[in-house]
Amino acid sequence: MNNLEDYLPYVSSIWPHLLETIIVRGEGIYIWDKTGRRYLDFTCGIGVTNTGHCHPRVVTAIREQAGRLLHLQANTAYHEPMLLLIAALQEVVPSELDTFFFTNSGAEAVESAVKLARQASGRTNVIAFERSFHGRTLGTMSLTSSKIIYRAGYQPLMPAVFFAPYAYCYRCPKAEANPEMYGFDKGCDWALEQVNFLLKSQTAPEETAAILLEPVLGEGGYIVPPSHFLLGLREICNKHDILLIVDEVQSGFGRTGRFFALEHFGIVPDILIMAKSMASGLPLSAIAVRGEIMNRWKPGSHGGTYGGNALACAASEATIRVLQEEKLVENSARFGKKLMDRLNSLKESNQCIGDVRGLGLMVGVEFVVPGGRSPDGKKAKAIQKSCLDDGLLLLTCGTDENVIRWIPPLIINENHLEEALNIFEHALKVTANS
């Protein structure tokens, strides 16, 4: 086999549905398949290509670095791209988080954060949240509960993990029972009450190393919590000397209209997890930690060969500079508002849309059976397929696969957004009876 056509029978036998979208090129907000057809990519590599496909400045940084040094293991010596990246990260992460540890993927970074929390605290247990997604390794799937497919067939999983309900206001039992008194803007503390109940009933505070959460749920449904939920978790952690780990693998690097989603909520975690869009498509992840915590990690007890790879670090430093200098974070906030306004307008005239929520360009549209709140995954899939047929790539998410997520590159302009929304509106019409 020496060309694409030679591989097609093999691909067809395993993933026949992918043959329609074998992608050969990407530029900016667009990708092209093997037939030359162009698509608007509002999947962004699942939140990876925030600077767009093949941003010229990122590509230049990669090419130049590739001619100088591809890799040097961090235990051997520091290299310049890593030091430049650290300097860039110090400009964008909370100043309290002054030390960094580099890995390759989001799952590795989550594993690193949990290992550090356990060793630094001398405790074993971790509280995670229902509908969360933190990865597919044995440890991270033990912390994941967004879909059963990630866990089925792999039991027993890592012990000492306890799940609390996330602040999912659209489906909060208090808000559903009494919407006049409870809801997103009405200060309902049900989710915080459940965390406190967990600490009284299943995992004692003195055994709990960390609380791990996504500030905006990703795979679990693009769920935005009220700010008092995260503030309350910070208070619980402070009270019991528990470490707060914030997973910004999908929500970081401008996605929510701030460099990190935690900025919307006014909290500083003890450990911040970064990945996905960190290097515009090259594999790189990291945790940012308060130095006093990092210093409790026994030297040599954790690491990896490729963590902080020189090529990936160069791409990441260029990515941060592009986000800053081209004001893509501000662009995310601006066009996120436009997107939300238009989607909320469509919600008024389409009973199949139960909820529209998001921050910046991390927006979810939840589909329900008209007349109630029963999840309608079939409808979401039909919308997704119709959009694909018309040249717009979107992804679904949520435990019931009934949420369409909007994650375009942060470089979008008025024309891109209008084209995508027109395709989406057309999909609503053509699937009205499905």
Query: Is pLDDT above 90 for 416?
Result: yes
**Who's near 177: CB < 8 A, 6+ residues apart?**
none
Q: Please, what is the average pLDDT of the chain?
A: 93
Instruction: Answer for the pair 366, 338: CB distance below 8 angstroms, yes or no.
Output: no
Please give the pLDDT value at position 14.
Answer: 54
293: which 2 tokens?
Answer: 């915590």
Instruction: Answer for the pair 354, 367: CB distance below 8 angstroms, yes or no.
Output: yes
Q: Percentage of the chain surpassing pLDDT 70?
A: 93
295 three-class SS: coil
pLDDT (average), residues 61-89:
93
Query: E strands within 34-181?
Result: 38-41, 99-103, 125-129, 161-164
Element (H, E) at 377: helix 377-389
Q: How confident is the model at residue 19 (pLDDT cuts 50, 70, 90)?
A: very low
pTM recorded for the entire structure: 0.94
Q: Which of 101-115, 292-306, 371-385, 408-422 has the lowest mean pLDDT?
A: 292-306
Give, in words, the CATH class of 58-325: alpha beta
Please give the pLDDT value at position 176.
Answer: 74
Please give the pLDDT value at position 1.
Answer: 47
Instruction: Answer for the pair 244, 287: CB distance below 8 angstroms, yes or no.
Output: no
Q: Percentage of the chain surpassing pLDDT 90?
A: 85
- Secondary structure (DSSP) of 74-113: TTT---HHHHHHHHHHHTTS-TT--EEEEESSHHHHHHHH
Can you tell me which residue has the tokens 């602040």?
167
Q: How confident is the model at residue 305 (pLDDT cuts 50, 70, 90)?
A: confident
Query: Is pLDDT above 60 for 17?
Result: no
100: which 2 tokens?
Answer: 């960094």
* Domain boundaries along the sequence of the chain: 4-54+327-430, 58-325
Q: Which of 110, 130, 23 is nearest to 287 (CA)?
A: 110
CATH superfamily of 4-54+327-430: Aspartate Aminotransferase, domain 1 (3.90.1150.10)
Please give the pLDDT value at position 335.
Answer: 98
Query: Is pLDDT above 90 for 284?
Result: yes
Can you tell me which residue has the tokens 């006014």?
266
Tens of pLDDT, residue by residue over 46-72, are 999 999 999 999 999 999 999 999 998
Q: How confident is the model at residue 78 (pLDDT cuts 50, 70, 90)?
A: confident
Please give the pLDDT value at position 75.
Answer: 79
